[in-house]
Amino acid sequence: MRNFLIAVGLVPLFAGVSAPADETWPQWRGPTRDGQFRGAAWPDSIQAGDLAEIWRVKLGEGYSGPVVGPRRVYTVETEDRSREVVRAFDRQTGKALWTANWEGAMRVPFFARRNGSWVRSTPAFDGEALYVAGMRDVLVCLEAETGKQRWRVDFTQRYETPVPSFGFVCSPVVVGDHVYVQAGGAFVKLDKRTGKSIWRALADGGGMYGSAFSSPLPARLGGRDQVLVQTRQHLAGVDPANGEVLWKQAIKAFRGMNILTPTVHEERIFTSAHSGKAELFSVRPSAKGFSVALDWENRLQAYMSSPVVVGDHLYLHLRNKRFTCVNLKDGQVRWTTTRRFGEYWSMVARDDRILALDQDGTLLLIRADPERFELIDERELSKEETWAHLAVAGRQVFVRELRALAVYQWTAPAAGGRS
């Protein structure tokens, strides 16, 4: 497909975003959807004198990550347990620019309720529009300039499927003229101009064990454009043109907790699951289409945190709250921390540095070194939990607290990392 831009090739997915890729954060896990930042090197300190807070606004509760355009930053929240609210702020000053909202609250199952029932999905921004997922399996397209609604899809009505038990968790991805998302008990491709469905694949009926946690990732494997999809039971490659399932691999997990976004490195796919294991797969063309081979596996168990890759090594926050480094070539664990951290990390890597935002409100600056764990600096940013994904754009760092958005800016010169 001529317009299919490839995440594994480190190509930003949004051709319409009129700013250098390192100056924006337009979707889940950044411009290339892999937690990588390719701008200027970071300083060695994240203390207040070197990473200064420039503005802060109070918000309703939410785990949706901030989305950053050239001039604006966008957030989503649940308000009064009854409505979902999208807000746009001036990126430099924090001035409120517009608000859009709709009825959309729900309650997740009792055993997951300690983490709240508020909005979870991170929107996608393509330079013109914002694609926002609401908890009750709706996707709303808003004009990025004004907040005016262009279209709205209620997947429960379109496909006569139940409201997902854990809400709409998957974060949409925009590629060319289309939006891809796990919703309506399946994986769906939509026309981004109209919201019309183009195809629907991997249907599982939704409900308690059908609603997805993971987010799709465009890639090129075996010489063919694909969208990688991790459902509650499987990892699969789907043809973006027609929705054909090119291959599928079972992934075992406790209660279907396949949560992290699949990671592609040199056309191999890494994943790990709650109470399962860590696995690296190769997908190759075969006489029948594609074959899937297990290159290695180990006993590491991820939970909700998607890893980052630096060189040939993968850095992963584990279900046991420790942090580990794995050699992607052979699956050997290089080191694992003895220190336990919070339940979740969102990470952004820049060359040999990793910024990690802990669920407990702590920001950590780590050297990506396969020989040993080196914590360069750490700082408590919030007394509230910070489950939303960290965003880095230009010299700014965006932190979505449970009930606020705080924006920080590097004031110290770069040091240590290669620029």
Token digits of residue 81: 């347990």
Cα–Cα dist 116/337, whole Å: 29
pLDDT at position 42, please? 96
Asked whether residue 2 is assigned to any structural domain, the reply reads no
CB 309 within 8 A of CB 349: yes
pLDDT at position 18, please? 58
The pLDDT of residue 237 is above 90: yes
pLDDT at position 34, please? 98
pLDDT at position 12, please? 54
Q: What is the largest CA-CA distance in the chain?
A: 60
- Residues 6 or more apart whose Cβ sits within 8 Å of residue 97: 72, 88, 89, 90
Residue-by-residue DSSP string for 19-82: S-GGG-B-STTTTTTSSB--SSPPPS--STTTEEEEEEEE--B--PPPEE-SSEEEEEEEETTT
Name the residue with tokens 């996707």.
Answer: 139
Token digits of residue 392: 């880095």
When pLDDT is cut at 50, 70 and 90, the band that residue 288 belongs to is: confident
Select from 111, 127, 185, 184 the least CA-distant residue to 153.
184
Pairing of strands 186-191, 178-183: antiparallel
Select from 22, 27, 6 the least CA-distant residue to 129.
27
Select from 240, 180, 218 the least CA-distant residue to 13.
218
The pLDDT of residue 102 is above 80: yes
- The three state secondary structure string of 351-385 is CCEEEEEECCCEEEEEECCCCCCEEEEEEECCCCC
pLDDT at position 403, please? 97
The pLDDT of residue 139 is above 60: yes
Asked whether residue 384 is assigned to any structural domain, the reply reads yes
* Residues 50-93: tens digit of each pLDDT: 999 999 999 999 999 999 999 999 999 999 989 999 999 999 99
Indicate which CATH number applies to the domain containing 219. Answer: 2.130.10.10
Length of the chain: 419
Cα–Cα dist 146/381, whole Å: 31
Provide the residue range defining the domain that includes 78.
Answer: 7-410
- Mean pLDDT is lowest, of 114-118, 156-160, 265-269, 361-365, for 114-118
Mean pLDDT of 237-264: 94
pLDDT at position 7, please? 42
* Residues 324-359: tens digit of each pLDDT: 999 999 999 999 999 999 999 999 999 999 999 999
When pLDDT is cut at 50, 70 and 90, the band that residue 110 belongs to is: low
Token digits of residue 377: 């600096």
Asked whether residue 417 is assigned to any structural domain, the reply reads no
Asked whether residue 238 is assigned to any structural domain, the reply reads yes
The pLDDT of residue 99 is above 50: yes
Phi, psi angles (nearest 5°) of residue 226 = -145, 165
What pairs with residue 392 in β-bridges? Answer: 397
- Residues 6 or more apart whose Cβ sits within 8 Å of residue 57: 89, 94, 96, 404, 405
Cα–Cα dist 138/133, whole Å: 6
Mean pLDDT of 262-289: 94
Task: Please state whether the predicted TM-score (pTM) of the whole model is above 0.85.
Answer: yes
Asked whether residue 109 is assigned to any structural domain, the reply reads yes
pLDDT at position 15, please? 47
What angle is formed at CA 173 by the lines to CA 214 and CA 188, rounded to 5 degrees?
75
Name the residue with tokens 């709709």.
Answer: 102
Asked whether residue 96 is assigned to any structural domain, the reply reads yes
Residues above pLDDT 90, as percent of the chain: 84
When pLDDT is cut at 50, 70 and 90, the band that residue 419 belongs to is: very low
Asked whether residue 1 is assigned to any structural domain, the reply reads no
Mean pLDDT of 283-290: 92
CA dist 72 → 31, 93, 170 (Å)? 16, 10, 23
Number of domains in the chain: 1
Asked whether residue 147 is assigned to any structural domain, the reply reads yes
Token digits of residue 159: 């496909």
pLDDT at position 211, please? 74
Mean pLDDT of 154-162: 96
Cβ count near 320 (within 10 Å): 11
When pLDDT is cut at 50, 70 and 90, the band that residue 417 belongs to is: very low
pLDDT at position 206, please? 77
The pLDDT of residue 13 is above 70: no
Name the residue with tokens 């831009």.
Answer: 5
* Residues 27-60: tens digit of each pLDDT: 999 999 999 999 999 999 999 999 999 999 999 9
